[in-house]
Structure 1
């Protein structure tokens, strides 16, 4: 269902824009997310005042496990089908991702597929063209607006993930994910008291969430652009460290189906190392990686161009090309097309077409 063909979506979208962020009508999902978000942040603020080495250790271990549940399970496996693993292992890894408090797999994968399909256009769910705040977290609190942007006939339709909606496990998580999170919070409180709750739920979830949001905001704003893409995605090493490899975002937007995001030996990508380990013990198969020919075809003339910090290094766009001095209103989307240049040419459609998210014809398979 396309954005432009759906008159109902366009009407809802225009109504949302006119209402603004705060004055619009808030539905029950948006209100729930706001209160959940505030509650988790209040817990995180309390954590430093309840210093407890046991709680900190539990939080760190859970941070690694639940983050990998998102990066391995939600992202590289379910969204991009970068590799295959047995169904029982898939469900375990994805279930760990549920406890990152980034909602359920059906929602997460649907949003991310739309991001790649409509990257940095008005249909992109968290386009940076609506501002840093919106791309970082503002989009989370307007469920109806995000659905209308993507052209869904109603919020909660998720028409682009039929393969997940067909599986009972993912339907179950979609309707119950919040209760799994609440159950974990209760268990942590029973085991270690409020300090465990503050560190292993509050501080951990706040860290995971904002690190993930950095990929949408920071990694579309600051960093290096070694590849020819039509968007502003960048490789940001600090975001990559915090997200176990997800911050090599220009790499990812160039080769979205690649199981490896840190394509250079020095690019830290813990998620890829885990996938390699699973392959070594025979659990991961059909691993997709870009070929050397793919890399050569899409490489920029300067492999370390930063279009924002060193505009003289490239004939590509500058900051003002993307964000004009006369800013658009908070909800009306106005876009400036980047100038032609070596850092703005789009890859071939095999990487960016909607079908490329679902087919198996990508680069090299191990």
Structure 2
């Protein structure tokens, strides 16, 4: 089978049923798969999924401390802005447009590191980037790791159940995975290390990067506003970490065709443009599926795209050396083309009729 069909670890319930359609597991099957995939005691190759959800649990006490001990209206506003706008936009800038699609290039490794660590590190790059390539190749089809047709839980727990890479790849296929990740700065395991740990990412280096990132930002927020501010922002990061797992279910119409004429131009899958994710994170999802390698997905005047603003600004100051911008292509192929009337032909002669004022 093609690499894109086998690069991810297939869940116990499979991608397809006996008829070749999407396998739709029950809630019980999904939860059992989830528990088996985060169990590091039964299989140490589960370490990355375990780490991903452990970070959510570690952030929960900060949220509780903020709510019950340090709560202020100002802190709530800061928490809202940080989780919804700052982390949402950063997710689009870093994980989506850079790590997966390479929509822009940094001038040097410093600016890559700077952008990578602009916020708390929550999602391991490997879990996001490789599976997202599969999502675009098989969007809304069996094998799509967060196929909205599978239901809410199918998408919500996808990072553990469907997104980890295949643990039994040949050395050739593993090297293809490494190639997909090499521009992100993640130091890859050797093939022998991969056979031991089941991942591209090295567990020691990954965990250390999280500790250093969190340590830096906790110290910074504590110095700026004390324990109250630190708890507000760390708690907000936990809320974002949970909320972002619901996005693809919503962004693909909850498994239904909710595309609208004149708004959602991509007809190859069920992705839709949504105002809220667009404004707070620059995630105009249908536009993105239309031009996945574009550094901008807010193509129309009302489609605010703060992720693009950041990338463009970094280009102006020389931190970004190159980017793709598909706005003009979008306007030409979908907006301007739609405004040109279809030609009229004489039913008798077959010649085109030209209407003059």
TM norm structure 1: 0.65
> Which SS does the other structure have where 1:75 is aligned?
helix
Aligned position for 2:157: 138
Aligned position for 2:210: 178
Rounded Cα–Cα distance in structure 2 between residues aligned with 1:275 and 1:4:
29
Aligned position for 2:238: 205
The superposition leaves residues 58-81 of structure 1 with CA deviations (integer Å, 9 ceiling, x where unpaired) of 756755555444322222123222
Map 1:114-263; keep pairs closer than 5 Å: 114-135=134-155, 137-142=156-161, 145-147=162-164, 153=168, 159-162=176-179, 164-165=181-182, 170-171=187-188, 174=206, 176-184=208-216, 187=219, 191=223, 194-207=227-240, 209-210=241-242, 212-221=244-253, 224=260, 225-243=263-281, 245-246=282-283, 248-263=284-299
> Which SS does the other structure have where 1:257 is aligned?
coil
The superposition leaves residues 301-326 of structure 1 with CA deviations (integer Å, 9 ceiling, x where unpaired) of 989xxxxxxxxxxxxxxxxxxxxxxx
1:74–1:265 CA distance, 2 compared to 1 (3 A): same
C-alpha displacement of 1:256: 0.5
C-alpha displacement of 1:159: 4.3
Gaps of 5+ in 1: 304-366
C-alpha displacement of 1:2: 3.2
Rounded Cα–Cα distance in structure 2 between residues aligned with 1:5 and 1:250:
23
Quick check: 1:22 aligned with 2:37? no
Paired residues of 1:3 and 1:10 also in contact (CA < 8 A)? no
Aligned position for 1:78: 99
Rounded Cα–Cα distance in structure 1 between residues aligned with 2:29 and 2:117:
35
1:219–1:133 CA distance, 2 compared to 1 (3 A): same
Rounded Cα–Cα distance in structure 2 between residues aligned with 1:158 and 1:233:
31
Aligned position for 2:132: 112
Quick check: 1:283 aligned with 2:319? yes
> Which SS does the other structure have where 1:84 is aligned?
strand
1:262–1:35 CA distance, 2 compared to 1 (3 A): same
The worse-fitting range, judged by mean Cα deviation, of 231-240 and 286-295 is 286-295
**RMSD between aligned residues:** 4.0
Rounded Cα–Cα distance in structure 2 between residues aligned with 1:6 and 1:70:
26
Paired residues of 2:9 and 2:163 also in contact (CA < 8 A)? no
C-alpha displacement of 1:291: 6.1
C-alpha displacement of 1:128: 0.8
The superposition leaves residues 34-54 of structure 1 with CA deviations (integer Å, 9 ceiling, x where unpaired) of 443234244324423322477
The superposition leaves residues 255-286 of structure 1 with CA deviations (integer Å, 9 ceiling, x where unpaired) of 10111111011111111112222233343343
1:298–1:177 CA distance, 2 compared to 1 (3 A): farther
The superposition leaves residues 181-232 of structure 1 with CA deviations (integer Å, 9 ceiling, x where unpaired) of 552475368646643342110123313x355335312111166442132211
> Which SS does the other structure have where 1:21 is aligned?
helix
Aligned position for 2:195: none
Paired residues of 2:278 and 2:304 also in contact (CA < 8 A)? yes
1:162–1:174 CA distance, 2 compared to 1 (3 A): farther
Rounded Cα–Cα distance in structure 2 between residues aligned with 1:91 and 1:44:
27
C-alpha displacement of 1:115: 1.5
Rounded Cα–Cα distance in structure 1 between residues aligned with 2:6 and 2:314:
43
Aligned position for 1:2: 2
1:249–1:5 CA distance, 2 compared to 1 (3 A): closer
Aligned position for 1:38: 57
Rounded Cα–Cα distance in structure 2 between residues aligned with 1:79 and 1:4:
14
Rounded Cα–Cα distance in structure 2 between residues aligned with 1:294 and 1:117:
20
Paired residues of 1:120 and 1:128 also in contact (CA < 8 A)? yes
